[in-house]
Structure 1
Amino acid sequence: MRALFLSEPPFHFGVHEPAPDLPSRIQALVDAGDREEAVVLFQREAVGLPDAMIAQFRATDAFAGVVPLAQSTVYDATLARELSTPTDAMLAVDVPVTILCGQQTFPFLSAAAERLAAAMPHAELIISPESIGHRLDAHAATRILAARLA
């Protein structure tokens, strides 16, 4: 491997950790067939979105598109709980690391990107104005990756 690219890695670094039982509460909602509430619970407690932002998102067509993926929020919450802080081996990666972060993303993701860049000796943090709301802009990402791999 000659380079590593990360997009808004969701490490908490021990700060504002979600409740340990979050994955099981999300799974209970999925099992009960309440996928919408499972997604909302994940957004509220794992991502830290305020209720007003969640309500805005629920009113969009995009929300309907993520509801079928509710089971994946259980996996996301479980992984985030199990690996809240990068391991020493992760931090010691000996290749150039580019950490991409949207200029207008969720605060905990911005904080995580900054902490990770500071902790990794070969890391560069790139703030992408085109990437908004934890949605990586494909054109901006392609431009950044191409420049770093050239």
Structure 2
Amino acid sequence: MSAITTSRGDRIVYDDLGAPGAVTAVFIAGAGPTRAEDPVTLATGEAFAVRGGRAFIPDRIGRGESTSEGPIDLPAQLDAIGALAAEADAPVILIGHSSGCAIALLAAARTPNLAGLVLWEAPLGLFEGGAASWWTNVRRAIEADDLEEAVAHYMVGMPPEWLEELKKSPAYPQVVLGWVPDGEALMEVEERGYRDVLSAVRAPLIAIVGTETFPGMIATADELAAAAPDGVSEQLAGAWHSWEPDAMAERLARLAGVTK
């Protein structure tokens, strides 16, 4: 376990796998589990390190062991990613998962040592009425301190069993407060448009979906790839919004140009 402190004073705790100086994969989780509850990302980071890369797997601000000194919002999350990229002191690949893709998209142009941007099943262009309308409903519920309603609004369109499983967590419903960066990022990316967000990103972009995926995900991946100066869309072994660790590690190793 390693830790850094951002300029705002947030403490980011992360797993550091691999050798210093190697191309570093920085994983950006979506509205999901802590790193301790995410064996898939851990296994991916370990497999990437074995192949000659390095992986940073952080707890998002206010989640797991990472603590916040202020509101958990998009600027704070972008600062955390910037601090991790600077700590790597090497070329960095940002890997966004789900809503973490929107955060990764906005972080990319702020990452001077960016070597690649990998987006796994970005939920963009999929909200009825658009992300701005969806996020307005979530935000209103948060501001009214009706966090259960906020969670329900946030998870509109997701498999109902995901919400039922979340309700068993001791973090429910306060967990939605840590999803503010995701909502703000999804709204900003859709409002600005993919081409504008990606206009300054010269590193390769790979928009990936699983071999079993949800409706609309392939079209979104294709649109993101087409909007990037250097983009491709691909399918990779995975299902239910999760990738196969070895397959993802191998793809990251090819992108990074490392192999052992």
Q: Give TM-score scaled by structure 2 length.
A: 0.44
Cα 1:37–1:94 shift into 2, 3 Å: same
- Displacement after TM superposition at 1:113 (Å): 0.7
Contact residue 211 and residue 235 of structure 2 kept, 8 A: yes
SS at match of 2:155: helix
1:58 to 141, 163, 169: 163
1:83 to 189, 208, 213: 189
Question: Would you say 1:4 and 2:4 are equivalent positions?
Answer: no
How far has the Cα of 1:98 moved from its partner?
Answer: 1.7
Higher helix share: 1
Structure 2 equivalent of residue 141 of structure 1: 248
CA distances 1:43-86 after superposition (whole Å, capped 9, x unpaired): 21xxx33xxx22x22333x5544734212334322322222021
For the structure 1 residues 135 and 124, does the alpha-carbon distance in structure 2 shift closer, same or farther, using more than 3 Å as the test?
A: same
* Partner Cα distance (1:133, 1:19) in 2: 22
CA contact (8 A) 1:23 1:75 kept: no
CA contact (8 A) 2:225 2:233 kept: yes
- 1:31 is displaced (CA, Å) by 4.6
- CA distance in structure 2 between the aligned counterparts of 1:3 and 1:19, rounded to whole angstroms: 26
Compute the displacement of 1:147 (Å): 2.0
Q: Is the 8 A contact 1:92 1:120 kept in 2?
A: no
Greater relative contact order (CA < 8 Å, ≥ 6 in sequence): 1
Aligned-pair RMSD on alpha carbons?
Answer: 3.0
Whether 1:115 and 2:232 are equivalent positions in the alignment is no
Aligned to 1:18: 130
Q: Which runs of 5+ in 2 are unaligned?
A: 1-113
Q: Secondary structure at the match of 1:98?
A: strand
Q: Which runs of 5 or more structure 1 residues have no equivalent in the other structure?
A: none
**8 Å contact kept, 1:5–1:100:** yes
Q: 1:97 to 1:83 in 2, by over 3 A?
A: closer
Match of 1:129 among 237, 240, 258: 237
Conserved 8 A contact 2:117-2:203: yes
Aligned residues of 1:97 and 1:123 also touching (Cα < 8 A): yes
141, 145, 148: which is aligned to 1:29?
Answer: 141
Q: Which runs of 4+ in 1 moved over 6 A?
A: none
**Could you say what secondary structure the match of 2:125 adopts?**
coil
Counterpart secondary structure, 1:4: strand
Distance in 2 (CA, whole Å) between partners of 1:97 and 1:20 is 25
Shift of 1:89: 5.6
